[in-house]
Amino acid sequence: MPELPEVEVTRLGFAERIAGARILAVRAGKPLRWPLGIEPGALVGRQVLDVRRRGKYLLVDLDAGLLLMHLGMSGSLRFARDAGTAGAHDHFDLVTDLGTLRLNDPRRFGAVVFVEGESDSRAIKLLGGLGVEPLDALAFRADDFHAALRRRKAPIKQVLLGGDVVVGVGNIYASEALFAAGIRPTLPAARVSLPRATKLHAAVRATLARAVERGGSTLRDFSNIDGQNGHFQLEAKVYARAGQACLVCATPIRKILQGQRSTFYCPTCQK
């Protein structure tokens, strides 16, 4: 569900609104992927400073410690003055004097984890292995990207998805970026030439940046911070289009399985 663009759109939607808020109460519903790691009551009285993003994690900075939030496959966050009654899938509320930040996550693959700091062992375990930020032009460079790919024999789609070379590229945008770059998803990463890696580098950046501009994709569960759903149509050229005509050459789009995840591509446009 939420890939980098959806997480970033979520962050942009409430970061400024929650900055400076004082925590009044914390409510934990059903267990999420991991335990919170602190007595909820111990957060009361702390202040929210700002909200950052690393890969698909949101980092909610407090005046003491921070919350790592992950939306998993089906999570979405809302921030509202009056949150109303919690529903069956509302599993975490951060009640502040400026509004309530609420995580809704039917599948509960998401998480909220408190850590004292980014050098906390729990933070390192979750964030330490992450690759570079694709939208950070200084960190994400075509020649470094190509060098990293040369060390990997796995199919390029799975390396993109892995998150240890570059973060944030999920199952939808991996297929879309590879289509934009004209690269077959099954091609071993090490066999992507420098010119083609350069093209893919640009395609990843453009695909993600465009999605952020458009407010993210809404397929199933994702909705933005105000709960709006379906406003943002995914402009997918290959994702979920199996059997349909390629928008460039009319060849039927193919669907294959790679590491238990579906991949879509055009057999004519992608070599």
Partner DNA sequence: AAAAGCCCCTGGATGC
Partner DNA sequence: TGCATCCAGGGGCTTT
Is 46 within 8 Å of 91 (Cβ atoms)?
A: no
> Which is closer to DNA, CB of 93 or CB of 105?
105
* Site for DNA, rule CB under 7 A: 1-3, 6, 30, 33, 55-57, 70, 72-74, 88-89, 106-109, 125-126, 129, 151-155, 158-159, 161, 163, 170-172, 189, 216-222, 259-262
Question: CB of 201: closest distance to DNA in angstroms?
Answer: 18
To DNA, the closest distance from the beta carbon of 112 in angstroms equals 14
DSSP alpha helix (H) spans, the chain: 4-18, 121-127, 142-150, 156-162, 171-181, 194-213
CB of 266 to DNA, least distance (A): 17
State in angstroms the smallest separation of the CB of 40 from DNA.
Answer: 21
Is 122 a known active-site residue? no
125 catalytic per annotation: no
Given 6, 8, 53, 56, the catalytic residue? 56
CA dist list (Å): 61 to 19, 41, 69, 127, 231: 9, 17, 11, 15, 30
Give the residue with the Cβ less far from DNA, 37 or 109: 109
Give how far Cα 39 sits from Cα of 121, 202, 244, Å: 18, 44, 52
The half-sphere exposure of 169 on its side-chain side, counting CA atoms within 13 A, is 30
What are the CA-CA distances from residue 64 to residues 48, 61, 117, 267 (Å)? 9, 8, 8, 52
Decide if 237 is catalytic: no
Is residue 2 part of the annotated active site? The answer reads yes
Pick between residue 74 and residue 96 the one whose CB is nearest to DNA.
Answer: 74
Tokens of 186: 């099954």
Whether residue 149 contacts residue 165, with contact meaning beta carbons closer than 8 Å, is answered with yes
Considering beta carbons, is residue 48 or 166 the nearer one to DNA?
166
Q: What minimum distance in Å lies between the beta carbon of 55 and DNA?
A: 6
Q: Comparing C-alpha atoms, which of 35, 39, 219, 4 is closest to residue 132?
A: 4
41 token code pair: 């009551």
Q: How far, in Å, CA of 21 to CA of 58, rounded?
A: 17
Judged by CB, which is closer to DNA: 155, or 185? 155
Distance CA 265, CA 271 (A): 10
Q: Which residues have a catalytic role annotated?
A: 2-3, 56, 261
